[in-house]
């Protein structure tokens, strides 16, 4: 009789003896595995010798079957896993004995599902392919443990020490690692979806190609971690430390990165589609060819970051901090359209709207061709004058923009003035009782020498030396118009304010085209045309 036939006969006898389904999950005798005298089960043994083996052995059925399993090269299609309770007791007796047993019984399936191993010392334990789902390992020492391909789904490893543990290709879905130490652990290729990794130490951990989608990693430390090709889509990384981490080709789409630190991180070709980057720190990070489409960057730090070739269609960028090191060839169009690139992140949104929104183009055309900036102090007396000027400008189809210097106390607002000046066709500056206006006019004429500025002054005020000095160096500062009262300003607006400014613009354009006419020559031509028109009208009458 061949050994495998003998085993089948033996199993039949066991079945008849028990008169029920063979239960391989019986408990151990005295909590220790017992041996069967295998000499009684040689190939030459007869069937009655099998009965003697059964009667002679006090070994539980489970252990007998296990030894039969080990003696046969062919697989017996039965559940040969040790009992959960038995294996739990064995491993708690000591890692050395456990590892010896594992080496002698490599085919035995480890089942520690739901086991209570909290606080256990399992340092260096051989737990490869073990079933530890829903096990309690809170505070356990799993330092340098071998957990490759183990099932730790929904297990509780809060406060556990897994430093330099080997968990490659493990199943850790919905596991709890709150405050656990996974420093330098190898979790590459593991399924960690929905896991709780809050406040977890993952410094220098290997997470290549790991699936961390929907994981909670708030306040976790992943500095220096290797996450190339990892899936962190929809993960929560609030306030996480990701300094110098490698996310090359990683998927962070729809992730929450608010307040996270990516200083010097490598995000080359990473997918940050629709991520929340509120106050995220990307300083000195490499975002080359990253996908930032539809991402939200509010108060985000991009100091010395590299953004070359990044996709930024739909990006919402507000109050960005720092100057990027490189931001060339930013792609502002969606994937399905021909690529259009720009070299400035802050202008990207504006340029895309300009290209794709006719209303925006019309607004820009209106601003650049019709906007008139009015500068002054909005004291009660002065505000009446400026409001009348504004109303009158509307009649001439201009778009007046008023700016009050009275409350300007910081550099940001003064920069706003310069921006508005650059957008305007010409500028009207009421220098009556407005020292700051006079001082800022110098900055405007220096930055925009092609923008005519028409100063106006109440006749009771004197012309300040500052304006005289500016007019000598910059021809765009026109002759001051002095008025007696607000009625005079309104009645003479076209002749003494609008015409001089428009004549200067026309002269400037003529010089650029090569006609080289002065503003005075253009004004005379206009007067001649007006006189000629009047004569023609009289002749017709």
| CATH code 3.40.50.360 for 363-523 | yes
Angle at 503 between CA 498 and CA 508, to 5 degrees: 130
pTM for the model stands at: 0.62
Task: Give the Cα separation of 42 and 65 in Å (integer).
Answer: 16
Which has the closest alpha carbon to 220: 202, 233, 235? Answer: 202
The pLDDT of residue 195 is 98
Per-residue pLDDT tens digits of the chain, which is 541 residues long: 344 455 555 555 554 544 434 443 333 333 433 333 333 344 444 455 555 554 444 444 545 555 554 444 434 333 334 447 889 999 999 999 999 999 998 888 899 999 999 999 999 999 999 999 999 999 999 999 999 999 999 999 999 999 999 999 999 999 999 999 999 999 999 999 999 999 999 999 999 999 999 999 999 999 999 999 999 999 999 999 999 999 999 999 999 999 999 999 999 999 999 999 999 999 999 999 999 999 999 999 999 999 999 999 999 998 999 999 999 889 988 888 777 888 888 777 777 766 666 666 666 666 667 888 888 776 666 678 888 888 889 889 888 888 765 554 555 567 778 888 888 899 998 888 756 666 677 788 888 888 898 988 888 877 665 666 666 667 788 888 988 888 888 899 999 999 999 988 888 777 665 555 555 555 666 667 777 777 777 777 6
Hey, what are 130's tokens? 């073990």
The pLDDT of residue 461 is 75
Which has the closest alpha carbon to 451: 425, 413, 490? Answer: 425
Which has the closest alpha carbon to 227: 255, 126, 405? Answer: 255
Which whole-number Å values give the CA distances from 376 to 243, 372, 381, 397, in the listed order? 49, 13, 11, 21
Which whole-number Å values give the CA distances from 40 to 54, 56, 272, in the listed order? 10, 10, 67
Q: Using an 8 Å Cβ cutoff, are 160 and 140 in contact?
A: yes
The pLDDT of residue 368 is 67
The pLDDT of residue 78 is 38
The pLDDT of residue 275 is 98
Domain limits of the chain?
3-71, 363-523
The pLDDT of residue 37 is 37
CB within 8 Å of 27: residues ≥ 6 apart: 60, 83, 85, 86
The pLDDT of residue 410 is 54
The pLDDT of residue 215 is 98
The pLDDT of residue 76 is 39
The answer for 239, left when phi > 0, alpha when psi is -120 to 50, beta otherwise, is: left
Relative orientation angle of helices 435-447 and 465-473, to the nearest 10 degrees: 10
End-to-end CA separation in angstroms for the chain: 137
């Amino acid at each position: 009789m061949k050994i495998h036939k003998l085993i089948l006969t033996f199993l039949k006898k066991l079945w008849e003896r028990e008169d029920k389904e063979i239960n391989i999950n019986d408990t151990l005798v005295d909590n220790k595995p017992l041996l069967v005298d295998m000499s009684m089960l040689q190939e030459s043994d007869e069937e009655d010798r099998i009965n003697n083996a059964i009667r002679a052995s006090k070994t539980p059925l489970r252990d007998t079957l296990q030894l039969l399993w080990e003696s046969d090269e062919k697989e017996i299609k039965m559940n040969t896993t040790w009992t959960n309770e038995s294996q739990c007791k064995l491993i708690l007796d000591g890692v050395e004995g456990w590892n010896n047993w594992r080496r002698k019984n490599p085919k035995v399936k480890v089942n520690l599902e739901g086991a209570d191993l909290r606080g256990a010392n399992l340092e260096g334990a051989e737990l490869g392919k073990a079933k530890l789902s829903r096990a309690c390992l809170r505070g356990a020492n799993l330092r340098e443990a071998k957990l490759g391909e183990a099932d730790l789904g929904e297990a509780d490893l809060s406060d556990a020490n897994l430093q330099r543990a080997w968990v490659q290709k493990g199943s850790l879905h919905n596991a709890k690692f709150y405050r656990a130490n996974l420093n330098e652990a190898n979790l590459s290729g593991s399924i960690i979806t929905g896991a709780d990794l809050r406040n977890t130490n993952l410094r220098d951990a290997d997470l290549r190609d790991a699936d961390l989608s929907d994981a909670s990693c708030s306040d976790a430390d992943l500095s220096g971690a290797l996450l190339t090709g990892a899936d962190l889509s929809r993960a929560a990384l609030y306030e996480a430390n990701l300094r110098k981490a490698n996310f090359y080709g990683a998927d962070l789409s729809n992730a929450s990165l608010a307040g996270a630190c990516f200083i010097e991180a490598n995000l080359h070709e990473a997918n940050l589609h629709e991520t929340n980057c509120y106050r995220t720190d990307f300083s000195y990070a490499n975002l080359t060819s990253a996908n930032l489409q539809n991402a939200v960057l509010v108060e985000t730090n991009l100091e010395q970051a590299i953004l070359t070739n990044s996709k930024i269609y739909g990006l919402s960028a507000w109050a960005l901090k720092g100057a990027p090191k490189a931001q060339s060839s930013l792609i502002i169009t969606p994937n399905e359209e021909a690529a259009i690139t720009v070299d400035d992140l802050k202008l990207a949104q504006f340029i895309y709207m300009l290209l794709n929104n006719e209303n925006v183009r019309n607004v820009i055309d209106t601003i650049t061709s019709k906007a008139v900036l009015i500068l002054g102090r909005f004291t009660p007396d002065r505000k009446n004058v400026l409001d009348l000027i504004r109303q009158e400008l509307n009649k001439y189809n201009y778009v007046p923009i008023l700016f009050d210097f009275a409350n300007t106390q910081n550099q940001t607002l003064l920069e706003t003035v310069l921006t508005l000046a650059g957008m305007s066709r010409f500028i009207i500056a009421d220098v009556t009782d407005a020292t700051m206006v006079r001082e800022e006019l110098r900055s405007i004429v220096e930055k925009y020498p092609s923008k005519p500025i028409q100063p106006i002054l109440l006749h009771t005020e004197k012309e300040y030396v500052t304006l005289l000095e500016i007019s000598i160096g910059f021809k765009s500062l026109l002759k001051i118009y002095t008025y007696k009262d607000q009625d005079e300003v309104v009645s003479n607006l076209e002749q003494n304010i609008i015409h001089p400014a428009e004549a200067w613009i026309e002269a400037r354009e003529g010089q650029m085209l090569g006609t080289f006419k002065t503003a005075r020559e253009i004004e005379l031509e206009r007067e001649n045309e007006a006189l000629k028109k009047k004569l023609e009208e009289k002749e017709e009458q």
